[in-house]
Structure 1
Amino acid sequence: MRVVIAEDNVLLSSGLELLLGARGFEVVAVAGDGDGFLNAVTEHRPDVTIVDVRLPPTFKDEGIRAALRARSLYPNLAVLVLSQYVEREYARELLSDGHGGIGYLLKDRVGRVAEFTDALRRVADGGTAMDPEVISQLLLNRDPLADLSPREHQVLALMAEGHDNTDVAERLSITLNAVHKHIGNIFAKLGLSPDDSGHRRVRAVLAYLNRR
């Protein structure tokens, strides 16, 4: 699995490169700014990218803006944002383009290497990987999905974190059949029909994060 990294901290980018290389990933390029990232994506067309929000020259939002630009050029590009900061507006825009393959993790809250690499693979496969704190920040001042029951909200929140159905069942202490039923209800309430050409699970998560 080929990876492009956008990270200006040399120690962190070198550490990521070594860590990922030891676990079967191939880091094909490391960029220290937004332009370098876009050039690397164009040249290498990676399976997944890791992007810091704040890059030179202003260290404000260059990274996530570069990720948005890359997704507009290559809609199926998988992007895992790895940052100390939650840039809510740009993050919502990144999440709302209708495609999967998106993650947003906070550097200080990544506790285990296995969890990080699992999240990276999930994003590369078109899924989502969201830190719960990022979800909380994105939902500030936003109207929750009023038609969903409290249990459906819990199920959808766990889906947004990237948990599969078995994990959801275990965390909520309910049966797997109950999880399937709740997810079916969520899809129905969000108008996601079985013949939807998109990935219904990804679209449900995006609706949860972006619905006012």
Structure 2
Amino acid sequence: MADAGRPLRVVVGEDDVLLREGIARILIEAGFDVVARCGDADDLLRRSLAHRPDVVVTDVQMPPQRQDDGVRAALELRRREPGIGVLILSQFCEPAYVLDLVGQRPEGVGYLLKERVGDLKVFVDAVHRVAAGGSALDPEVVSRMLGRSRRDDPLQVLSPREQLVLAAMAEGRSNLGIAKTLYTSQASVEKHVTAIFRKLSLAPADTEHRRVQAVLTYLHAGARAR
């Protein structure tokens, strides 16, 4: 997490040089300090460990193998430096990558489709959220998970509205952000969140911890339905 008074430090991983420079320029103009730009996964991991930025923004498919090298580098980075946030940019919607990154700790993880980079507000907000230890999941990924169902799906106890609230929580939105997205009051959202905690049998504890546990339940339910 960034020290007060200094810009958030970012490492960018993208093998397409034009896109890499474009992402870096967006971040710099938004007030971030881009400390490294990497064209392959090995260099991304090496320089991220050296610079220890607040967040790493990386593509999925990168050299040397051009498969899921970027994700594997991100997983290794989270293992070695759990305090560094990771925002994955992908051309395709693949919830499995989200589950791999989240594990049992969704803090500091983001997954966006590359097309979202063009929406500067969404992209920049996602980088901020992940750097601060929050989550930022692409709405399309969340919708795909929400659309899955199984007989033993723990989310079936939730009403459709509560499922929408939980999906927005998974995207990393605050109660106020959820209220604006669903065009409802913040008090109404708070009631839904309380109901979600109760129905998912999340024992009274720190509110943020219960939000994390609720999101984990949501993500793993989506994974089991694949």
Return the TM-score normalized by structure 2. 0.84
Task: Find the aligned partners of 1:80 and 1:8 in 2 and give their Cα distance.
Answer: 16
What's the counterpart of residue 193 of structure 1? 203
Identity of aligned residues (%): 49
Of 102, 110, 113, 2:109 maps to: 102
The aligned amino acid for 2:127 is L
Of 168, 175, 181, 1:165 maps to: 175
What's the counterpart of residue 207 of structure 1? 217
What's the counterpart of residue 27 of structure 1? 34
Cα offsets for 1:47-68 (capped at 9, x unmatched): 0110100001222111111111
What's the counterpart of residue 140 of structure 2? 133
The aligned amino acid for 1:176 is Q
Q: Is the 8 A contact 1:99 1:202 kept in 2?
A: yes
Task: Find the aligned partners of 1:141 and 1:148 in 2 and give their Cα distance.
Answer: 14
1:51-130 alignment runs, 5 A limit: 51-130=58-137
* Residues 82-91 or 97-106, more deviating: 82-91
Given the superposition, is the C-alpha separation of residues 103 and 142 from structure 1 closer, same or farther in structure 2, using an over 3 Å criterion?
farther
In the alignment, is residue 180 of structure 1 matched against residue 187 of structure 2?
A: no
* Residues 62-71 or 84-93, more deviating: 84-93
* Residues 60-69 or 200-209, more deviating: 200-209
Q: Is the 8 A contact 1:75 1:99 kept in 2?
A: no
SS in 1 for 2:156: coil
Unaligned runs of 5+ in 2: 1-7
* Residues 166-175 or 32-41, more deviating: 166-175
Deviation, structure 1 residue 197: 9.2
- The alignment yields a C-alpha RMSD, in angstroms, of 2.1
Q: Is the 8 A contact 2:94 2:141 kept in 1?
A: no
Runs of 4+ in 1 over 6 A off after TM superposition: none
SS in 1 for 2:202: coil
Task: Find the aligned partners of 2:94 and 2:175 in 1 and give their Cα distance.
Answer: 29
SS in 1 for 2:104: coil
Deviation, structure 1 residue 142: 5.3
Return the TM-score normalized by structure 1. 0.89
Q: Is the 8 A contact 1:76 1:100 kept in 2?
A: no
